[in-house]
Chain A
Amino acid sequence: MGLREYTIRRVIELIISLFLFSTISFIIFRMMPGDPSSLYLEEGILEPGMREAIRHMLGLDKPLWEQYLIYLKNTFTFTFGVSFLYNKPAIDIILSRKLLNTLALLLSSHGLAIVFGILLGVWSAWRRGKVFDISSMLAAFILYSLPVFWVGIVMLLLFSVKLGLFPLAGTITAGLTHENILQYMADYLHHLILPATAITLIRLGGDYLITRNTMITVIGEDYIKTALAKGVPEKIVVWKHAARNAVLPIVTWVGLEIAVIFSGAVLTESVFSWDGIGKLIYDAALWRDYPILEAAFFIIIFVTLVANFLTDLAYAALDPRVKYD
């Protein structure tokens, strides 16, 4: 089978999966007990007759099959219906500043964590048993086990309150009118540093440990011994011969993490008042905002499936041993 047939087959599979998953997401969110009208209860604005009126307003008093047809129409026109909480098309709520904020935060912090995790992991494995290895192992275990909200609060206390170096909350300075795009970006970066550092620190531990483990296996291979024996400089052996093979599991892991990015980082976003997707989805789940949930679910599935598809294609292109089937 050629590349073309393979691609066509995978695209058809993708569409079928999307349809299946969208039906599942319709069912599972409506299976959760309660409905959006309970939001008004928690806020204490319960007036007689109000909940029925709200259900009617949100179209929840329609029969389920009718709701499903409306949902299908909304899903495959990519509007996902009007959010119950925000009174706007769900897709506009998700594909907004919130998504950009989350992407900026998670891509930068995960990127930094991966780079530093690989560098430290490789070097630590090479220096196995030495002071550097033991101390960085210890640090990695401590970082890996710290809760992000605690790290966040400590960082805020230290760098914002005591030292006054960074702002406390938000993505830009409240009420400030930026003169040009550069000033805006500087302001944004200034706000980004603390939350991104917090996530980097937490993630670093995991990335480091994985790299170190695979690196230790790789170092034991014969070709490394051969390279050393024939007099290749140590640095070249470590970074060119060994590290290249050791980072492969990390790459796979990153591919799997892409979907996670779309579900955001609720805890970090809360501590730093970072207006992102995580809190949005959390609130939507809490208050049963079906359109937002369905849209988010759909996008996460879509991204995962497409990423999977692209990875497969890339593998096939890169590795001649892989066959299309």
Chain B
Amino acid sequence: MNRYLPLSIIMILFLVTTMFQPYAKPVLAQESYPEMHYSVYAPEYDPVRVRAAQMFSENAKKVGVIIDVKPVDFNVEVTKVIDERDFDMYIIGWSSSNMPMYFSNFLVSWQDVPGGNNPEGFRNAEFDSLAKELDSTINVTKQREIIFRMQEILGEQVPRLGIYTRYITQIWQKGWSGFHLEYWGYASPLTWRNVYNPNKDTFIVVLNDDMRTVNPLREQSIWEDYVWNSVYDTLVMLNDDYVPIPWLAYNWTVSEDGRTWTFYLVNNATFHDGEPLTASDVAFTLNYLKDNQVPTFISTWRYIESVQVIDDYTVQITLNQTYAWFLYYLADLPILPEHIWSTLTWNASEPPLIGSGPFVWSKRVTGEYIELLKYDNYWRSDMPKVNKLIFRVIKSMETAALALQNGEVDFYTYYVPPATLDTLKTNPNLDVNLVRGFTYYYLGFNLRRPGLNRTLVRRALCYLMPKEDVVNGPLMGLGEPANWYISPRFTLYYNPEIPLKYPWVRGGSAYDEASRLLDEANTMDIDGDGVREILPIVPTQPPTPPPEINVSEISEAIGALHGAITDLSTKITGLSGTVSGMPGKLSEAVANALSGINTYLMVLTVLVVINLLITIALIVLIRRYLA
């Protein structure tokens, strides 16, 4: 019994190796044809993005593209994508990437550096020159033309694909009015100045996260913005259409070359300690940021050359180049009192919070609330319209929704869980408003990867992103597919033709269209494992499909094979020594001897024959030995 054991083991081993397909595969998968096997990163903390990636991957599999979903920590994703640029695809939510001002600095060749805004490695000469032109264009019509064309290039080349955008829920107690919420989905600074209720004089707002620092120059989140926007004033403000309107500066002029800006300030603005706000405070603030290289305001001071005080209420800013978005950045800049900040370091941990805004900093209990009181000498006597503004910290969205139902808070803008939303909508005391938020969730391709560097492949993959299903499935209808590169909220800059002109931008589950594009991009499954290989593009000649196999060809092939095998067998001097070298030689021999036949079948046959021969030889040897 025992003496037949080695024999049977050897028999089984050879049978298995013969029948097992992968055995033959490495012999054939020519290294020059990489498979379409990719991965996609998604932040693990967000189930919606992870699910979107999975649905995308399931669709891609049906057309022969393997995409592994890799949910990772947000920091890992940033490191891999932005810093190391070592990725195939990624899904991320980017707040500002669908803003027009972003168009002068993203996906351009000079941002294709580690940490830059072009992790995709997108390179397009026209796009680059348009971006440069945009940065120095202040004419709105011209800007619009440039941005329209830039969106077209993106739609055509699809280095990125918008997936969806979420709705922000804006909820307030009935009776309150004066909200300015149109733009981000968040409350604009105008809200705190205008909000009004004839029956109440305290307005309580939910902050989803506590302020982390109490220094306006260290602002980190929208929640801190809420507070700073009430305590500090800015030169200009953005209205609901995102157009700068006069504020502390009641008027301004700009020179022909767009480099000299003159601002005329109102003359009755004062800081909370009674000191008047003058041109020298504005000049001080700008110089202070520039001298200290304050990172959070880098876009504001980057191009400032000098600031001159013309008189008490006129200030002139000279830039070292034309800067189209300067006003937009000034709308975020708190004007600091010179008499206080001139002796402070910019990142002081607890500077005196004296601004010129409509509310005076009164009290803060860490982690609980921030209380602001009306500033009686605010330069606009009609504002603010409440006596007290309380920002209450409630970190859980569910609890915030409960607090609204309970009437404990007056106003909340952020996301709420879908289940809670229905309850809130039926509450007679609440106004519920859903708006398109400004965060843009998109898929980015690494254009350095084989396959993904082909526009047709990217278009095909776009056709496989089931945007509608993502919105109706994991997002539970609280959002919409994002078929754009600039949010439609920017009515002026949004190009509505993109999804019509470039249908792939709409996504979906269009397998036929995707397969057609992938075929056209010269990718096909040549080894029958269900995954496409990326074949080199031969410009003139379309790829020839693998010919049909017929019996006479096979018998011919086997005849030729016979020759090859005898040739081989002479080379095989000792069985044990050359087994490892065989596959390489074999494929060479096969490739020489036979072209035009299904090579896969052929080599399989050869392997079977050789295995059989070896097995027989071994059996004979072993039996003799045993006997």
Contact = CB atoms under 8 A, between A and B. Distances in A.
Contact of B395 (A39, A98, A164, A270): A270
B95 interface: yes
Contacts of B396: 169, 270-273
Given A54-B295, A87-B215, A98-B367, A44 B390 contact: no
Interface residues of B, number: 58
Given A34-B78, A85-B220, A174-B368, A47 B299 contact: yes
B14 interface: no
A169 B299 contact: no
A47 B78 CA distance: 15
B349 A87 contact: yes
Contacts of B388: 175
Contacts of A42: 74
Interface in A248-266: none
B96 A275 contact: no
Contacts, number: 150
Contacts of B365: 97, 172
B136 interface: no
B398 interface: yes
B218 interface: yes
Contacts of A170: 367-369, 392-394
A172 B76 contact: no
B103 to A, nearest CB: 13
Interface in A117-156: 153, 156
Interface in A277-322: 279, 286, 288
Given A87-B347, A175-B388, A275-B368, A32 B75 contact: yes
Name the residue among A34, A156, A157, A175 with the largest chain B CB count within 10 angstroms: A175
A57 B439 CA distance: 27
A43 B296 CA distance: 12
Interface string A2-24: 00000000000000000000000
Interface string B385-405: 000101011111011101101
A33 interface: yes
A41 B82 contact: yes
Given A47-B299, A51-B115, A161 B405 contact: yes
Contact of B403 (A40, A56, A168, A286): A168
B408 interface: yes
B111 interface: yes
Interface in A73-126: 82, 85-88, 96-98, 101
A53 interface: yes
A46 interface: yes
B436 to A, nearest CB: 15
B399 A273 contact: yes
A45 B405 contact: no
Contacts of B221: 43
Contacts of B80: 33
A167 B394 CA distance: 12
Contacts of B82: 41
Nearest to A32: B75
A43 B222 contact: yes
A63 interface: no
B37 to A, nearest CB: 24
B202 interface: yes
Given A57-B347, A86-B213, A273 B394 contact: yes
B95 A44 contact: yes
A168 B115 CA distance: 43
B73 interface: yes
Contacts of A161: 402, 405-406
Contact of B78 (A41, A86, A153, A169): A41
Contact of B390 (A40, A57, A88, A174): A174
Contacts of A32: 75
A271 B366 contact: no
Contact of B295 (A33, A53, A82, A270): A53
Contacts of A164: 406
A157 B613 CA distance: 78
Given A45-B296, A175-B388, A288-B75, A169 B399 contact: yes
B406 A273 contact: no
B518 to A, nearest CB: 33
Contacts of B298: 47-50, 53
Contacts of B295: 50, 53-54, 56-57
Is chain B's binding surface mostly helix, strand, loop or mixed? mixed
B393 A275 contact: yes
A273 B393 contact: yes
A150 to B, nearest CB: 11
Identify which of B94, B97, B366, B390 gathers the most chain A CB atoms within 10 Å of its CB.
Answer: B366
Contact of B79 (A33, A43, A56, A160): A33
A101 B210 CA distance: 15
Interface in B50-98: 73-76, 78-80, 82, 94-97
Interface string A159-179: 011001001111110110000
A32 B79 CA distance: 11
Contacts of B73: 33-34
A170 B369 CA distance: 9
B117 interface: yes
Contacts of A168: 394, 399, 402-403, 406, 408
B302 to A, nearest CB: 8
A302 to B, nearest CB: 24
- Name the residue in A33, A85, A157 with the highest tally of chain B Cβ atoms < 10 Å from its Cβ: A33
B293 interface: yes
Given A34-B79, A53-B295, A156 B399 contact: yes
A160 B213 CA distance: 31
A48 B79 contact: no
B371 interface: yes
B469 to A, nearest CB: 26
Contacts of A52: 115
A44 B349 contact: no
A33 B76 contact: yes
Contacts of A33: 73, 75-76, 79-80
B347 A48 contact: no
A52 B220 CA distance: 16
A38 B78 contact: yes
B392 A174 contact: yes
B95 A157 contact: no
B367 A45 contact: no
B475 to A, nearest CB: 19
A210 B80 CA distance: 47
List 5 A-B pairs, minimum CB-CB distance, nearest first. Answer: A44-B95, A34-B75, A275-B367, A53-B295, A174-B369
Given A34-B74, A272-B396, 4 more contacts: A35-B75, A39-B220, A41-B82, A96-B366
11 contacts: A41-B82, A44-B439, A57-B295, A85-B220, A98-B367, A153-B399, A167-B408, A170-B367, A172-B368, A175-B369, A275-B366
